[in-house]
Structure 1
Amino acid sequence: MFEQLTQLAQQFGNDAVVNNASIPNEHNQAVVDETSSSIFSSLQKMASEGGIEQLAGLLQGNNAHDSSHPAVQQITQELTGSLGEKFGLSSEAASGVAASMIPKILGGLMNKANDPNDSFQISDIIGAIAGNSTQASGMMDTISKYGTQFGLDQNADGKLDLQDALAVTKSSGGIGGFLGSLFGK
């Protein structure tokens, strides 16, 4: 997943960073790199702190593109602070970069994950942000605990697992639709 974040940060960094007079040219690449690192660590932090509902909301519909979504705002604030601290950017310049790039990068990541022609899958995101197998298992246990109550057991095996998630992603709006159904969004 980090590779996809890095590629998307490079893709969207030209306008927000390279063509931005507020960012010294010698910091351009470092700011782009910090953007992808900050997004990744922010998503991991949400997962480790039990923010499954927040992550589910982020994965639903076009929320990743929505700068007013709480998860997008949280990631934007964390990046803004990091850019100011590490590169001495003014709060205005740092928040401008973050506000411009975060929704585009997250939206691009969700588009890739929901594209049936792309090998990158939503399970890659969950695995990457959950870190260790215990956390990933915990996320899936939480989904399983509540998901069967909402009729999300797609293969009628009495449990909710990755196979059910994959079945839903192919039929009803991706993992965002699956998790959105789970949390009633």
Structure 2
Amino acid sequence: MLEQLTELVKQYGSEAIINNQDIPNEHNEAVMEETGNSILNGLKGMAANGNFSELAGLFSGGKVDSSNPVVRQLTEQLSGNLGQKFGLSSEASSGLAGNIIPKILGSLIGKANDPNQPSLDISDIIKTIGGGNSGGLMDAVSKYGGQFGLDQNNDGKVDMKDAAAAMSGKGGGLLGGLLGKLFGK
């Protein structure tokens, strides 16, 4: 997921960051790196704090705009980081964050929900956001997933094998389907 996120930051950063007069050219690369880090760390933080329903709502096809609580939180975080680390004005940092976060997340979610995008695997996203451990998002999926028909291989538990089975075409866009079923979205 990190590679895809980095590519999306570069893709959308050329317009929002490089062509932005409020950002000195010598900070362009660092601002792009901070953007990617803020998104990834923000998503990890939300998972660590148990904000699963918000994450599920976002990844299951929820609006990716300033009204979405995940987008709003990530925008505020990036805006604060840009102001603090690069001395950008509040207006410049919030404008940049409000512009780029929805574009990056929208594209990331679109790719995750597209069965024709094999480079972005749901298990990688869950491992990355959940920190790759047994806690967090995957535990919630495992704990509640059987109740919502997510046990793809009928072995009595919901795990990465079920995620792989769903990715193989049994459930369409796995991220939306898996998390959407889990949280009733």
Task: Please give the TM-score of this superposition, normalised by the length of structure 1.
Answer: 0.89
Match of 2:7 in 1: 7
Greater Cα offset, 75-84 or 52-61: 52-61
Q: How does 1:1-185 map to 2 (within 5 A)?
A: 1-63=1-63, 65-115=64-114, 116-135=116-135, 138-169=136-167, 170=169, 171-185=171-185
State how far apart, in whole Å, the 2-side matches of 1:117 and 1:42 are.
24
Letter aligned with residue 174 of structure 2: G
In the alignment, is the contact (CA less than 8 A) between 2:10 and 2:32 conserved in 1?
yes
The alignment's C-alpha RMSD in Å is: 1.8
Distance 2:132 2:154 in 1: 28
Task: Give the letter aligned to residue 40 of structure 1.
Answer: L
Q: Deviations along 1:30-82, whole A, 9 cap, x unmatched?
A: 1111100111111111111122222211211154x333110111011000000
Aligned 8 A contact 1:113 1:122 in 2: yes
Aligned residues: 182
Q: Secondary structure at the residue paired with 2:150?
A: coil
Spell out structure 1 runs of 4+ moving beyond 4 A. Answer: none
Taking the aligned partners of 1:77 and 1:110, their CA distance within structure 2 comes to 20
User: Structure 1, unaligned stretches of length 5 or more?
Assistant: none
CA distance in 2, matches of 1:87, 1:102: 18
Secondary structure, counterpart of 2:20 in structure 1: coil
Q: Distance in 1 between matches of 2:41 and 2:139?
A: 22
The alpha-carbon deviation at position 25 of structure 1 amounts to 1.6
SS at match of 1:57: helix
Moved more, 30-39 or 157-166: 157-166
CA gap of 1:148–1:66, structure 2 versus 1, over 3 A, is: same
- Which amino acid in 2 is paired with 1:93? A
Residues 1:12 and 1:44: Cα distance change in structure 2 (over 3 Å)? same
Q: Distance in 2 between matches of 1:182 and 1:66?
A: 23
- TM-score between both structures, scaled by the size of structure 2: 0.89
- Aligned-pair identity in percent equals 57
Q: Residue 56 of structure 2 contacts residue 180 of structure 2 at CA under 8 Å; is this kept in 1?
A: yes
Deviations 1:68-122 (A, max 9, x none): 1101110110000000001111111101111111111112222332333432211
More helix by share: 1
